[in-house]
Structure 1
Amino acid sequence: MVRVRTFHTSRRLLYTSKPQLHTRFTLRRKTNWKEDLPIDLKTPARTRFAPSPTGFLHLGSLRTALYNYLLARATAGQFLLRLEDTDQKRLVPGAEDNIYDTLNWLGIKVDEGPTVGGPYGPYRQSDRSEIYTRYINELLDKGLAYRCFCSKSRLDGLRDSARLLKPPTTVSYDRHCLRVYSREESAAKAAQGEEFTVRFISPDKYPGFNDLLHGKINWQPQVNPFDKRFEDPVLLKSDGLPTYHFANVVDDHLMKITHVVRGEEWLASTPKHIALYEAFEWRKPEFVHIPLLTTVDNKKLSKRSGDIDIMSLKNQGYLPEALINFAVLFGWAPKRAQGEKLNEIYDMDFLEKHFNLEGLTIGNAKVDFQKLNYFNKHYLQKRLQDPVFLDTVSADIHCKLNQNRRITQDYVKNVLLKAGSSLTTLNSVFDEGFRFYFERPTYTKEGLENVLKPEEFGIVNLLAEQSDFSDLKAILSRVLAVYPETKKKDIYQTIRYAISAGQPGTKLPDMIELLGNEEVVARLNSLKEIL
């Protein structure tokens, strides 16, 4: 059974102020797509993560890096890091170090890359100019590419006129420089120092391809039959640096990449890449285009949003294990046996052994940060059982609380062990809902009225006269002897209010044990002051 889906972008895209890609392609996907795979998925895969240091790594980057890393590990292959830094104007200071620091912190280990080397370097595209020049010249010599000397104003005019054509066209160049200049004339103009780009002669029909997730894809640009224009993508920019389309094809071939796992936004560009592979007579890698990330409201997740920057999430107290578990589920899940209970807790050890392409899903992946909180809470409880981790974080928290000299590091440890189950992140220690373990809270009469009736406020005075709260039943008996109509839970809630000012916490006996009798009495006396 074959399902055919045709995708169209709106025609209005052709009339916007900037040229837009008007994609039209037919996608055929067989229900049992694994039967179409041309290679054994257990063959060692060489994958790569190729970020551009034009910004800090975000959740989308993490998901791409993680899938490539896990595919390599699960198949006993290799995972490469390559920096695509050819867009020099957009480079952000510190972005390259951010890539290294983030991957290291997450436990994503690189087999080959700029900092570890490898047999197919350099692994920074700005260091590979001679390589790109060699392959550009090969295409020029074969007559598969040509120099374009057109000015920006001429190209802008072509794009403007293309928008007005009916039927519409998604491509705009007229091959002026291919028609007007012979190879010799083109070479002479370049030798005289005239500025140029190099364009690929796009085929009349782009080759179809098989995506390991989406199936068979056939994408063709839309053209106007009466005023034919051509895509002829630029391979080499006027500054002598390659475009993404050219550099990634050359690099993936020379670095022997077997699988390209990247975002679905690159799906429409893939026919160009495959045409380049065919021009060089190179074997193409397998392509896997993974779903776009959206908010829970199904809006595009903006990478410019600070809340998806990985290191900012680290600074908010999220753990690497939680982020790995969170990101891996953006379009993937392991196969479950029928009737098997759903389990979404997957650590790196499990993922390195069990990740596979069969678990990938089609359709936008929604990013729900409540899920991240769930995962972080789970892994934080596990981490707090590790004495080394507990020592480290308690020392850090103690240092930040050093304005309160009554608090010791051992006390911080005890709080984390007995009350840490309510923490979502370590930063939550300093939130109002947890801070009462380290400083006396602020009380209000309105808050106390949520626990006791005004005529029962005397219970606070009676409780403040007690000296030992280790036996709560005895305390309860003394209070009920004076206030027999009061509910037991209200008495316990009064003690809890004195301790935390109404904030939820661990069990009352544990709270009393942590604070100690002296501090509980002191807080009850503070509560008396508002009566």
Structure 2
Amino acid sequence: MRILSTPKLQLRTKFTLRRKNAQNEDLPADLKTPARTRFAPSPTGFLHLGSLRTALYNYLLARATGGQFLLRLEDTDQKRLVPGAEDNIYDTLNWLGIKVDEGPTVGGPYGPYRQSDRSEIYTRYIDELLDKGLAYRCFCSKSRLDGLRDSARLLRPPTTVSYDRHCLRVYTREESDAKAARGEEFTVRFKSPDKYPEFDDLLHGYINWQPQVNPFDRRYEDPVLLKSDGLPTYHFANVVDDHLMEITHVIRGEEWLASTPKHIALYDAFEWKKPKFVHIPLLTTIDNRKLSKRTGDIDIMSLKNQGYLPEALINFAVLFGWAPKRVQGEKLHEIYDMDFLENHFNLEGLTVGNAKVDFQKLNYFNKHYLQRRLEDPDYLDKFSADIYGKLNQNRRITQDYVKKVLLKTGSSLTTLNSVFSESFRFYFERPTYTKEGLENVLEPEKVGIVELLAEQSDYTDLEAIIPKILAVYPFIKKKDIYQTIRYAISAGQPGTKLPDMIELLGNEEVVARLNSLKEIL
């Protein structure tokens, strides 16, 4: 985002920002009236981390103020719709515990909540703007518009807007009506004001954002409101719907800041009260690149399939630009469950800078919440039954054994799927020894240790075995003996304490694995 001073002539895009203060001290700690917020995704892809953060902030503001949270589908770009994307939105929000008060599946007094079902509403308001002279039909061909765009780039200074208002100048309203009646293809453009109004963003402060124009060859932004297929553009439908659905607060990504002046101009054209705007910071990678599908902006249900828990994802996403205000002397922590957030979320905790997404932090949260879940006997029964069902081809395994493994190793599990990873698989099947592993753990002069360990019959008292080995191999360190046993029973997997591993596997299985390693050597 570039903050530029305002010159006398509009020679460049002007974005001036007057921040209220660095700490946002005059933001209200809480709101006195209930907020009506909305999450308005486009079903052109599956719901991902950035969308989750937007949905979550809107949801939490509504809950914290005793308001309502709406779901609205912005599906007017029919060519880009992805099969299954709409169901993915419903399934994801439901799985995360984000409850919708009004929306396509639950109804409500301001429906329909799918934009493709609201065409008659948009037509009515398009006609109102046409009658007021604040919008006009544009019959220009694509080739003419492309030529205007290309010529605008060649101007000195160049301009970011390109339309010349040809159709507004050439055709009277009667001529425009006649052309439309004959079936000629057209779009409807908004007659943008000479200067966009300043607006107040509750996070960034006062913003004055003007398009870059050339004073010698004047072009106009005049955004399209109605496309040639009769469906509204995002800018128009967004404003009409937010007004009719009585949205009080619009929380969305910072990338929409440049569009907000257009939206406010539309509110002014209709003489409607504007909602309050909050533009939250961009999500970036650890090395400060914009988060995208290529750089980790993963869809939520794929994270579910990887074994992540909804409460971990909620905790992870809410901290992308927000933190609760701490009471003096209160210990710093980052664990916030949904109950806490629904009662304590407020705009005062929002931050301005880009939010860096560190997936190691997601692992930290998931590990915490998984361990908490395993303390619940009902969940432990359900989870162990699920694992047992996937392992039941191994007749040695019982559900009771699986439960014991979870109780002992739960603090080492990162995700639900970690149970099937290399780090834990040795509890359910004998490990595979590799040449590299043997070379790293078992130096040639230590091979005899394995033979001696295999001769031991009782590993229930591990400390009693160590002196027997040291008596034969006094030059060996105790840690070498422990590493050798660990390698024999788990191929060297770290994490769980060795006595716990031995207790879970049982003495007979430990001896058997030591003998298997002995045979290989």
Sort the TM-score into its range (normalised by shorter chain): over 0.9
**How far apart are the structure 2 equivalents of 1:40 and 1:360?**
13
- The letter of the residue matching 2:137 is R
Q: How does 1:217-232 map to 2 (within 5 A)?
A: 217-232=207-222
Quick one: structure 1 residues 254 and 38, their matched pair in 2 at CA, closer, same or farther if it must change by over 3 Å? farther
Q: Considering only aligned residues, what root-mean-square deviation do their CA atoms show, in Å?
A: 2.0
- Secondary structure of the residue aligned to 1:216 is strand
User: How far apart are residue 420 of structure 1 and its match?
Assistant: 2.1
1:119 aligned to 2:116? no
Deviates more, 1:99-108 or 1:370-379: 370-379
1:233 aligned to 2:223? yes
**How far apart are the structure 1 equivalents of 2:73 and 2:434?**
57
**How far apart are the structure 2 equivalents of 1:148 and 1:60?**
35
Q: How does 1:62-141 map to 2 (within 5 A)?
A: 62-141=52-131
- Secondary structure of the residue aligned to 1:457 is helix
**How far apart are the structure 2 equivalents of 1:451 and 1:274?**
68
Q: Which residue does the alignment assign to 1:6?
A: 3
User: How far apart are residue 492 of structure 1 and its match?
Assistant: 2.2
User: How far apart are residue 468 of structure 1 and its match?
Assistant: 1.7
Q: Which residue does the alignment assign to 2:39?
A: 49
User: How far apart are residue 470 of structure 1 and its match?
Assistant: 0.9
**How far apart are the structure 2 equivalents of 1:271 and 1:192?**
35
Maintained 8 Å contact 1:33/1:212: no
Match of 2:507 among 497, 517, 521: 517
Quick one: structure 1 residues 371 and 203, their matched pair in 2 at CA, closer, same or farther if it must change by over 3 Å? same
Maintained 8 Å contact 1:265/1:292: yes
Q: Which residue does the alignment assign to 1:408?
A: 398
CA shift digits 1:171-224 (9 cap, x unpaired): 111111111111111111111111111111100111110000000000111211
1:528 aligned to 2:518? yes
Quick one: structure 1 residues 502 and 208, their matched pair in 2 at CA, closer, same or farther if it must change by over 3 Å? same
Q: Which residue does the alignment assign to 1:350?
A: 340
Deviates more, 1:394-403 or 1:411-420: 394-403
Maintained 8 Å contact 2:192/2:223: yes
User: How far apart are residue 30 of structure 1 and its match?
Assistant: 2.1
Deviates more, 1:378-387 or 1:459-468: 459-468
Quick one: structure 1 residues 443 and 203, their matched pair in 2 at CA, closer, same or farther if it must change by over 3 Å? same
Deviates more, 1:464-473 or 1:27-36: 27-36
**Residue ranges of structure 1 left out of the alignment (5+ in a row):** 9-13, 15-21
- The letter of the residue matching 1:439 is E
Match of 1:418 among 403, 408, 412: 408
Q: Which residue does the alignment assign to 2:157?
A: 167
User: How far apart are residue 402 of structure 1 and its match?
Assistant: 2.6
User: How far apart are residue 494 of structure 1 and its match?
Assistant: 1.9
**How far apart are the structure 2 equivalents of 1:7 and 1:506?**
57
Deviates more, 1:448-457 or 1:297-306: 448-457
- Secondary structure of the residue aligned to 2:278 is strand
- Secondary structure of the residue aligned to 1:219 is strand
Q: How does 1:330-369 map to 2 (within 5 A)?
A: 330-369=320-359
Q: Which residue does the alignment assign to 2:8?
A: none
Maintained 8 Å contact 1:307/1:313: no
User: How far apart are residue 451 of structure 1 and its match?
Assistant: 4.4
**How far apart are the structure 2 equivalents of 1:284 and 1:40?**
20
**How far apart are the structure 2 equivalents of 1:433 and 1:307?**
27
Match of 1:311 among 290, 301, 309: 301
- The letter of the residue matching 1:315 is N
**How far apart are the structure 1 equivalents of 2:152 and 2:2?**
27
**How far apart are the structure 2 equivalents of 1:121 and 1:530?**
71
- Secondary structure of the residue aligned to 2:515 is helix
**How far apart are the structure 2 equivalents of 1:274 and 1:177?**
24
Q: Which residue does the alignment assign to 2:368?
A: 378
**How far apart are the structure 1 equivalents of 2:507 and 2:298?**
44
Quick one: structure 1 residues 36 and 501, their matched pair in 2 at CA, closer, same or farther if it must change by over 3 Å? closer
Maintained 8 Å contact 1:445/1:530: no
Quick one: structure 1 residues 488 and 83, their matched pair in 2 at CA, closer, same or farther if it must change by over 3 Å? same
**How far apart are the structure 1 equivalents of 2:436 and 2:110?**
70
Maintained 8 Å contact 2:43/2:82: yes
Ranked by relative contact order (alpha carbons within 8 Å, sequence separation 6 or more), the top structure is 2
- The letter of the residue matching 2:365 is F
- The letter of the residue matching 2:381 is D
1:438 aligned to 2:428? yes
Maintained 8 Å contact 1:53/1:91: yes
- The letter of the residue matching 1:358 is E
**How far apart are the structure 1 equivalents of 2:16 and 2:436?**
65
Question: What is the percent sequence identity of the aligned residues?
Answer: 88
User: How far apart are residue 457 of structure 1 and its match?
Assistant: 2.3
**How far apart are the structure 1 equivalents of 2:422 and 2:24?**
52
TM-score (norm 1): 0.93
Match of 1:211 among 198, 201, 209: 201
Maintained 8 Å contact 2:29/2:346: no
Quick one: structure 1 residues 455 and 232, their matched pair in 2 at CA, closer, same or farther if it must change by over 3 Å? closer
Maintained 8 Å contact 1:46/1:72: yes
**How far apart are the structure 2 equivalents of 1:492 and 1:168?**
72
TM-score (norm 2): 0.95
Equivalent pairs, count = 516
User: How far apart are residue 359 of structure 1 and its match?
Assistant: 0.6
**How far apart are the structure 2 equivalents of 1:77 and 1:303?**
33
Match of 2:461 among 471, 474, 480: 471
**How far apart are the structure 1 equivalents of 2:516 and 2:30?**
71
Q: Which residue does the alignment assign to 1:11?
A: none
- The letter of the residue matching 2:429 is E
**How far apart are the structure 2 equivalents of 1:400 and 1:320?**
22
**How far apart are the structure 1 equivalents of 2:518 and 2:49?**
50
**How far apart are the structure 1 equivalents of 2:487 and 2:387?**
25
**How far apart are the structure 1 equivalents of 2:335 and 2:481?**
40
- The letter of the residue matching 2:262 is K
Q: Which residue does the alignment assign to 1:253?
A: 243
- Secondary structure of the residue aligned to 1:437 is coil
- Secondary structure of the residue aligned to 2:3 is strand
**How far apart are the structure 2 equivalents of 1:94 and 1:178?**
41
- Secondary structure of the residue aligned to 1:287 is strand
Maintained 8 Å contact 1:23/1:268: no
1:28 aligned to 2:25? no
CA shift digits 1:379-435 (9 cap, x unpaired): 111111122222222222222223322111111111111012111112122221211
- Secondary structure of the residue aligned to 2:520 is coil
- Secondary structure of the residue aligned to 1:30 is coil
Deviates more, 1:521-530 or 1:476-485: 476-485
**How far apart are the structure 2 equivalents of 1:212 and 1:505?**
47
Q: Which residue does the alignment assign to 1:18?
A: none
Quick one: structure 1 residues 498 and 57, their matched pair in 2 at CA, closer, same or farther if it must change by over 3 Å? same
User: How far apart are residue 42 of structure 1 and its match?
Assistant: 3.1
Maintained 8 Å contact 1:5/1:28: no
**How far apart are the structure 1 equivalents of 2:29 and 2:514?**
72
Q: Which residue does the alignment assign to 1:273?
A: 263
Deviates more, 1:169-178 or 1:101-110: 169-178
